[in-house]
Structure 1
Amino acid sequence: MSDAIPGYDRPAVEAWLAAHCPELSGPFDWVRLPGGHSNLTWRLTDSTGRQAVIRRPPLGELLPKAHDMGREFRVLSALKDTPVPTPRPLAFCEDPSVTGAHFYVMDFLDGHPLYTVQDVKDWAPEAKRRDLAFAFIDALAQLHALDPAAVGLGDLGKPEGYVERQINAWGRSWSASVGPAGFDDPRAHEVEAFLRARLPGQVPARVVHG
């Protein structure tokens, strides 16, 4: 593969990995992974055949706090010794001079993201869907059962008023799109009112998925 890896200075990154990630041994084969919510995500295969994943924000100007690699790495680090199934974090680079942005490396877990109908047919046939659904629910239950303070994430966010803030954000997003789209739907406002009338009371903080 060519040294040209969008978003990565390949020689600089591989030199950084040699100094900071002893679990891996260069040189590396790089393969782009699809998805990743626009983050530049690649599978690395080292000289011994071990695989890992490297991840950095997309190119261009970003909104504050968007695509926070440090936050992702911190959450993975907090979850690695819990029952929640997550890849093991390996190394985090907070020096943007290496490749223009923060990035981190984690273990590669073999799996099959479901992007298309054909992906679902190939990797989640009907006979397996019940088991997959329950496994997904079990993982979410394990995540929600964690006390953020107990795993070192007590200061990660603002647990009070979380649901109300989400409804506020959804409402602002819808209202902001009405003018440019030239379209509004009263049902969206009915749903917002329905949710506001049923806000839950304050509950103990938990780690939740985003």
Structure 2
Amino acid sequence: MEKMGDTIPVRSGEELNVNRLEAFLQENIVEVPNERLEVQQFSIGYSNLTYQLKIGEWEAVLRRPPLGPVAPKAHDMNREHHILSSIHPYYQAAPEPILFSDDDSIVGAPFFLMERKHGIVIDSEFPKGIVPTVEKCRQLSNIMVNQLADLHSIPYEKTGLAEISKPEGFMERQVRGWISRYERAKTEEIKEVGPLIAYLQTNIPHYSQTSIIHYDYKINNAMFNHNVSEMVGLFDWEMATVGDPLADLGVAMSYWTEESDPEMVKVGLGQASITTLDGFMSRDEFIQAYATKSGLDVSNMDFYRTFGYFKLAVILQQIYYRYELAQTKDGRFAKLGQMVNSLITHAAQVAAKEA
């Protein structure tokens, strides 16, 4: 699952017990007695820890929860493994899972292994050798739209996800659940939160469609072939479920930044996304292209966009809460509080325009 810059040496404090893991792999998966296990870490990401494993020609990706206490029901490795097992036969961009283990003695937490895909993952800039032309940016936009619509078109009833689906009342549960998560992880008072929560509670759509949703769909969770003409991988299925496809689209739009967005919304997590470059669809263009591809009514997207910004703010607030309590020492998290504030303010502004 190579990303920009591919892998890095494992960060201090996030090391795995290589000898124990190697013994587990040799016993359960691969037998290469004359080769040793090599471990590298994928650098992008704020949530689960993801590693590249290699023994000789064999390779895989290992995912485990972050260090320290985590939010209830979050970072469920068995659930993510089950989701990939259900989706991969219908959606080839989803990595093929290899195994799940709940033996904490191997890497310190439950974990799962999945196939190691190869290609490029683009975040804030194109890799060397690819010129970011207007045409290339438009092509990437279309790929992202089409792949999301294709995911939503999979008949979830035929997959293993039917057993964990509760279509009735999905958005009510989501709004209630993410408000509750925010309240548990709150570290300061933000004046826009009250009106924003009131808007979300009083404007929940009475009807929603049902499909498989990724729920963390963004360009740096995707992998493309080397001429950026095809998506060959889609990662981070931790939040995937069966629910309202427009909620998935709204979350995707919370990541799809534009040049005119507030500065902190664009760069709060680092450099601005490539979606701010000329040629990329605007959010409105993306939404309309999705409507054309999927046939769904997108007239209520302001609500879903507002919810998407709030959901992202809560995710970052949960991480920042752990940082404030010194449950994680990753310096990248120090400014997440500012990003949360900016996202909530921006969400409240979107809601105010709709109200």
Shared fold, TM over 0.5: yes
Query: Hey, what does 1:85 align to over in structure 2?
Result: 93
Corresponding letter in the other structure for 1:28: L
8 Å Cα contact 2:86-2:161 kept in structure 1: yes
Any stretches of 5+ residues in structure 1 without a counterpart? none
Residues 137-158 of structure 1 deviation map (CA, whole Å, 9 limit, x = unaligned): 2222222122333111112242
1-side partners of 2:105 and 2:38: how far apart? 22
Q: CA deviation at 1:168?
A: 2.6
1-side partners of 2:32 and 2:148: how far apart? 31
Question: Which of these residues, 68, 74, 90, is aligned with residue 66 of structure 1?
Answer: 74
Corresponding letter in the other structure for 2:158: A
The question of 1:27 aligning with 2:36 is answered yes
2-side partners of 1:34 and 1:100: how far apart? 20
Q: CA deviation at 1:77?
A: 1.0
- SS of residue paired to 1:143: helix
Query: Hey, what does 2:136 align to over in structure 1?
Result: 128
More relative contact order in 1 or in 2 (CA 8 Å, sep 6+)?
Answer: 2
Q: CA deviation at 1:75?
A: 0.9
Query: Hey, what does 2:61 align to over in structure 1?
Result: 53
2-side partners of 1:186 and 1:147: how far apart? 38
Alignment map for 1:161-200 (pairs within 5 Å): 161-172=169-180, 180-184=188-192, 188=196, 191-192=199-200, 195-196=203-204, 199-200=205-206
Query: Hey, what does 1:108 align to over in structure 2?
Result: 116
Across the aligned residues of Structure 1 and Structure 2, the Cα RMSD in angstroms comes to: 3.2
User: Structure 1 124/7 Cα, relative in aligned 2: closer, same or farther at 3 Å?
Assistant: farther
Give the paired residue count: 203
Corresponding letter in the other structure for 1:96: D
Question: Which of these residues, 194, 208, 212, is aligned with residue 207 of structure 1?
Answer: 212
Query: Hey, what does 2:154 align to over in structure 1?
Result: 146
The question of 1:98 aligning with 2:106 is answered yes
- SS of residue paired to 2:100: strand
1-side partners of 2:131 and 2:61: how far apart? 24
1-side partners of 2:146 and 2:182: how far apart? 32
Query: Hey, what does 2:314 align to over in structure 1?
Result: none
User: Structure 1 186/153 Cα, relative in aligned 2: closer, same or farther at 3 Å?
Assistant: closer
Greater mean deviation of Cα atoms: 17-26 or 72-81: 17-26
1-side partners of 2:83 and 2:69: how far apart? 24
Q: CA deviation at 1:101?
A: 0.9
Q: CA deviation at 1:179?
A: 8.2
8 Å Cα contact 1:84-1:139 kept in structure 2: no
8 Å Cα contact 2:98-2:113 kept in structure 1: yes
8 Å Cα contact 2:101-2:110 kept in structure 1: yes
1-side partners of 2:194 and 2:131: how far apart? 37
Q: CA deviation at 1:208?
A: 1.0
Question: Which of these residues, 49, 53, 63, is aligned with residue 40 of structure 1?
Answer: 49
8 Å Cα contact 2:175-2:201 kept in structure 1: no
TM-score scaled by length of structure 2: 0.49
2-side partners of 1:13 and 1:59: how far apart? 17
2-side partners of 1:173 and 1:98: how far apart? 30
User: Structure 1 178/74 Cα, relative in aligned 2: closer, same or farther at 3 Å?
Assistant: closer
% identical equivalent positions: 28
Greater mean deviation of Cα atoms: 96-105 or 17-26: 17-26
Corresponding letter in the other structure for 1:180: E
Question: Which of these residues, 166, 169, 188, is aligned with residue 158 of structure 1?
Answer: 166
- SS of residue paired to 2:60: strand
- SS of residue paired to 2:24: helix
User: Structure 1 176/89 Cα, relative in aligned 2: closer, same or farther at 3 Å?
Assistant: closer
Residues 27-76 of structure 1 deviation map (CA, whole Å, 9 limit, x = unaligned): 2221110124421111122212x432111111112222110111111111
